[in-house]
Structure 1
Amino acid sequence: SAVEAALAALRRAAQSGANIMGPSIAAARAGVTTGEWAGVMRAVHGEYRGPTGVSQAPSNRTEGLEEIRDAVDAVSARLGRRLKFLVGKPGLDGHSNGAEQIAFRARDCGMDITYEGIRLTPEEIVARAREQDVHVVGLSILSGSHLPLIEDLMARMQAAGMGHVPVIVGGIIPDDDAARLTAMGVARVYTPKDFQLNTIMMDIVGLVVPGAAAA
């Protein structure tokens, strides 16, 4: 009851524009968690989404990508629409460079990419994947929280009727954890040793239509 009262006082202060320091200190003393405090701030003020620098516009950077672009075009023709690839960063990991490199290269290879930046929840990622009817979901996690986040996401994918959509994961992932992710149904696991972006792109093509990358 003390926590609920402290959160209510915090919410009133945030909504009225009053100084929130006093209610925040009272909330901490009542045992309010950082997540609960932040939840009130997000509910009142919304949540900032920083720009990622990845445009969805078609790219003219095609040098050396002709083979992959041809494969993407062929698979897209078989699918009846452009191969749709969602790149997500679940959890509190703020390092977006790797995810952006993947999204850039996927766009340059002719894929229709969706990338909305960092700090997404598994629920948000699955909702977006379902809304856009994506063909592949790629997740970048460098925070070490890959096991619980992926377990949550895979369960939500199944519940949303998207268990057939391949999920790939990249990050700082020990071999034992990679095996556990594979057991959860993850199609591919990439670590820093897998730095050949073009290989990853061809893997994506092959996951959407098995055998297409080699054809």
Structure 2
Amino acid sequence: MQQIVAYESDLLDYGDIFDGSKEIENKVEALKAEARAELGRVLALGGAIAAIESGYMKKALVESNAERLRAIEAGETKVVGVNAFTSSEPSPLAVEDGQSIMTVSDAVEYEQIEKLKAWRASRDAKAVTAALKKLEAAARENRNIMEPSIACAKAQVTTGEWGETLRLVFGEYRAPTGVTLLMRGEASQSIADVRQAVEALARKLGTRPKFLVGKPGLDGHSNGAEQIAVRAADCGFEVSYDGIRLTPEQIVAAALDQCVHVVGLSILSGSHVPLMRDVMNRMRAAGLGRVPVVAGGIIPPEDVLVLKQLGIAKVYTPKDFDMNRIMTDLVRLIDARESERAATISCAMTQGTG
């Protein structure tokens, strides 16, 4: 399309085809005014660093995205392929097998692990240990770590070992999530309906349903998880969300500690199968096999069946933009599992008295 416009029209003959357009000028001025107002708010907080550390910037981003999704759900904003013109021909960008999502074989991971083991076995272990000790000493003494870091690289220290050494000294930074977990007062009819369903479920459970939203792995794309957490809280769920880059072990530990009723996993890195397999195995080992787990992300159709075979109850993709429907699904999943649990207890009691 760009080439057609460029070479089959006289568009490129003009430096600015919008020069003199009142509409464009008005939009630019409005954008500048909004930018200056936002800059004023940031400066009032003490500058960009203070705005980041206070969580203001992340919170503003999350709330802006929440408003955008509300407009998409309401049909006020049209997104082609999502809430408008949803049927189409096969994409010409798809690869030979008809799939447009690249997935990486598990074998690639195993091969890389073996290469890493061989790398570590072939290097000078004493030199590695000495380099890491110097790095740790520099960090603890608040000295510049560049020189010992270069020495680590020359000693063939891995980035994982380098990072772990610094974490021992400084700890691990967890950025503000920007997520406000509360009910937002006035709501649309669809949200009001979900709230009623959540309230009914809470009466049945004797407590508000607890929903853990987790992002395992190195995936840093957090918009989806944040909006699910925000909407769930708005609907009346008790939500736990600790941000990005959690390990499966951390997620399962949180689920066990908080006695959650449902777990939601968000992965957009392509590693959904191995990560969710790890989470599900750990859930069962921790005695949480009855807790329903749902998943969302960039997940090709053929992997949906794989995830369900692993025990994932529901799988959502970007086309599932109706978050109220997702919330309703969560209510039904929890209710069904609670009914199963009650039936199992009743059966056991009956057998015991018999």
Q: Is the 8 A contact 1:62 1:109 kept in 2?
A: no
> Residue in 2 aligned with 1:51?
176
- In the TM superposition, 1:63-142 aligns within 5 A as 63-64=188-189, 65-142=191-268
CA distance in 1, matches of 2:247, 2:129: 24
Q: In proportion to residue count, which structure has more helix?
A: 2
1:157 matched to 2:265: no
> Residue in 2 aligned with 1:199?
325
Deviation at 1:13, TM superposition (A): 1.6
In structure 1, the residue corresponding to 2:264 is in which secondary structure? strand
1:60 matched to 2:185: yes
> Residue in 1 aligned with 2:107?
none
Deviation at 1:147, TM superposition (A): 1.5
Deviations 1:181-203 (A, max 9, x none): 11111111111111111111011
Q: 1:27 aligns with which of 146, 152, 156?
A: 152
Q: Which has the larger radius of gyration?
A: 2
Corresponding letter in the other structure for 1:167? V
Deviation at 1:46, TM superposition (A): 1.2
Q: 1:3 aligns with which of 124, 128, 131?
A: 128
Percent of paired sites with the same residue = 59
In structure 1, the residue corresponding to 2:315 is in which secondary structure? strand
Count residues in correspondence. 212
In structure 2, the residue corresponding to 1:10 is in which secondary structure? helix
CA distance in 2, matches of 1:4, 1:156: 33
Deviations 1:50-80 (A, max 9, x none): 1122123343143221111111011111111
Q: In proportion to residue count, which structure has more strand?
A: 1
TM-score w.r.t. structure 2 length? 0.57
Which deviates further from its counterpart, 182-191 or 35-44?
35-44
TM-score w.r.t. structure 1 length? 0.93
- In the TM superposition, 1:164-183 aligns within 5 A as 164-183=290-309
Deviation at 1:140, TM superposition (A): 0.8
Which deviates further from its counterpart, 5-14 or 167-176?
5-14
In structure 1, the residue corresponding to 2:336 is in which secondary structure? coil
Deviation at 1:31, TM superposition (A): 2.2
CA 1:138/1:10 → structure 2, altered by over 3 Å: closer, same or farther?
same
Deviation at 1:169, TM superposition (A): 0.8
Corresponding letter in the other structure for 1:94? G
CA distance in 2, matches of 1:54, 1:109: 14
> Residue in 2 aligned with 1:209?
335
Deviations 1:4-63 (A, max 9, x none): 332222222211212111221122222222222111122211111111221233431432
CA distance in 1, matches of 2:306, 2:252: 21
Deviations 1:95-116 (A, max 9, x none): 1111111011101111110111
Q: 1:39 aligns with which of 164, 187, 191?
A: 164
**Higher RCO structure (Cα 8 Å, ≥6 apart):** 1
Deviations 1:102-155 (A, max 9, x none): 011101111110111111111111111111100001011111111221111111
Deviation at 1:211, TM superposition (A): 9.4
User: Runs in 1 of length 4+ with deviation above 4 angstroms?
Assistant: none
CA 1:16/1:99 → structure 2, altered by over 3 Å: closer, same or farther?
same
1:18 matched to 2:143: yes
CA 1:188/1:175 → structure 2, altered by over 3 Å: closer, same or farther?
same
Which deviates further from its counterpart, 82-91 or 37-46?
37-46
Deviation at 1:175, TM superposition (A): 1.4
